[in-house]
Structure formats: structure tokens, C-alpha cells
Amino acid sequence: MASMRHIISITDLTKEEIIEILDIADRLKDERRKGILKEYLKNKSLGMIFELPSTRTRVSFEVAMNDCGGKALYLNWNDLQLGRGESIADTARTLSRYVHAVMMRVKRHETIAEFAKYSDVPVINGLSNMEHPCQILADLQTIREKKGKINVKLAWVGDGNNVCNSLILASSILGFEMVVATPKGYEPKSEILSKAREIGGEIELLNDPKKAVEDVDVIYTDVWVSMGQEKERNDRIRTFKEFQVNSELLSYAKGDVIVMHCLPAHRGEEITDEVIDSEKSVVFDQAENRLHTQKALLIKLIGDLNVG
């Protein structure tokens, strides 16, 4: 397959490439359910650098490599020489001699950008404070599965965070409608909005969640207190209390609306048990699809879809 370079932002993929990845992911999901596992990543290795804790990102990437005949190496930041002061550039130059690709989950987006600058193998953003492109690929697969199309109207309710940023950019690339409802002062970053508009997207910003969910196909939320914001917890809980995704909020949306959350969820805060466990919730489908879309991305970057 044609290779790509680093996937630091969802904008590193074109519309056509995103659709191709989703198509491959659908195929891989079907194969796995039938018990068919092919060595699309035979003899390939993925270095996974974690500066932050992880459940879905670590397990899905590790299983993805294993299912496809490859090997994933878990590399905790503090177990590497990075934790003792080795430069990011030297680490990137070294790991490039060992592995075929690197996935990174880090505090600062600049860390991945610098690593990619010195890496001779593809670098994948497994989460940074600015973006979460791998999550968005899984979200898009889920939306297409549930709605039969990507051209939906989506409302983001909550904090204008990294997942929101990547969704905004994805909506601009793919041309679907997106409304973002946040408390004042918690809107998405201006540089993300500017980039989206340059691509051709039109994002509606509101401070009223009830108005935001009117006539939407998808409601998406995330935690109010992300990693590194623990000191702001009490203030954020007070500020966001009207932005909870609950049964009352859903009553303002279309009857067939689906509810998304990238997990982990703080039940009783940004979303209620009643909603996340309801038939409208596709939260765990999203979580599963991390595996399939990341397989597809890895095959696109370093694998071979035409094996056996």
C-alpha cells in the first residue's frame, strides 16, 4: 500500500485517505468477527511511548499489532532515558533504527512534533493536549455504522478540548455540520477554528447546550476535567453543571440521536448512567472501533493489505 508519513493531526489525512481507512477498518472488523486474522503487519514493530496513563490506546494498539502478526513495545516515559534527560531528538533518531513506527501519548503536542521532526519512521499521535486523531477515526467509523453516512449534524457538548479540536478539523475535511456548545471561556482553541475555516469548515459556537442539540444526529461529550487539570476540578464542575448530557438534554434532540463519549467517563458529571447505558449510547462501539481503525491506519503506514 502507498505509505504516508506522520499522523500528528487529523489534517495529515485527506478526505480520500480517511474514507479509505474507514473502508479498510470495516473489512478488518468483519474479518475479526469471522475469526480471520491475517499477517498484514508481519515482522513489523511499533514502539508505543506513554507519558500519560492509558487503557484504550495501549490495549487497542497492542492487540492491533498482535492480530496482524506484528509486535508492539510498551515504552513508559520514565522507563526510557527520556525520563533521565535524553533529548527527544536523540530518542527519535535511536528508535527509528529499531522499530517501523512510533505511537506517542504525551502531555504536550510539541513533544510529538519534535519527535516526528527527527524520526525516520512514521509517528502517530495517540493523544496530545491539542489533538486525538486516532479517536476521531474510530468515531467516524462508528457514525457511519450507526447512521449509514458521515454527512451528519454533530453537537459537541462540554469542554473545547483535544478531542473536540480533532473533530472540528475532521468535520471541515469531510464536510459534515458541527455545533460546539461550551461555557464561556472554554471554547476550542482559536488556531483550530482558524485552521478549520481555512479548510472550508463552518463551526457554530454556542453557550447553550439545549439549543446546540436541536436537530442533531449525534451528541458527543467528554470529561470536564482532563489529565493535568485536577487543580481546576471544583471550578470546572461548577462551571459545566448545565452541560451534562442527561435525559432532559436528549429531549431537545431528534428521536434517533446517538450519544458518543471517547471514555473514560466520569459518570454523574458530564454524562449520566441513564444515558451512557441507554440504547442511544454508542460509547462502547466507539471504544471497539479504536482497534479496527488503528489496524487500518497501521497497515496504511507500514503494512501490506494484500497478504494471503
Q: How far is CA 161 from CA 173, 190, 199, 206, 236, in A?
A: 19, 12, 20, 15, 13
Q: Which of 286, 290, 292, 294 is catalytic?
A: 290
Q: Which of 67, 159, 262, 286 is catalytic?
A: 262
Q: Which of 105, 144, 236, 261 is catalytic?
A: 105
Q: Which of 164, 222, 236, 292 is catalytic?
A: 222
Q: All 3 cell numbers of residue 129?
A: 493536549
Q: Is 222 a catalytic residue?
A: yes
Cβ–Cβ under 8 Å, residues 278 and 219: no
Q: Is 290 a catalytic residue?
A: yes
Q: Which of 56, 132, 144, 261 is catalytic?
A: 132
Q: Is 262 a catalytic residue?
A: yes
Q: Is 135 a catalytic residue?
A: yes
Q: Which of 134, 135, 217, 261 is catalytic?
A: 135
Positions marked active-site? 105, 132, 135, 222, 262, 290
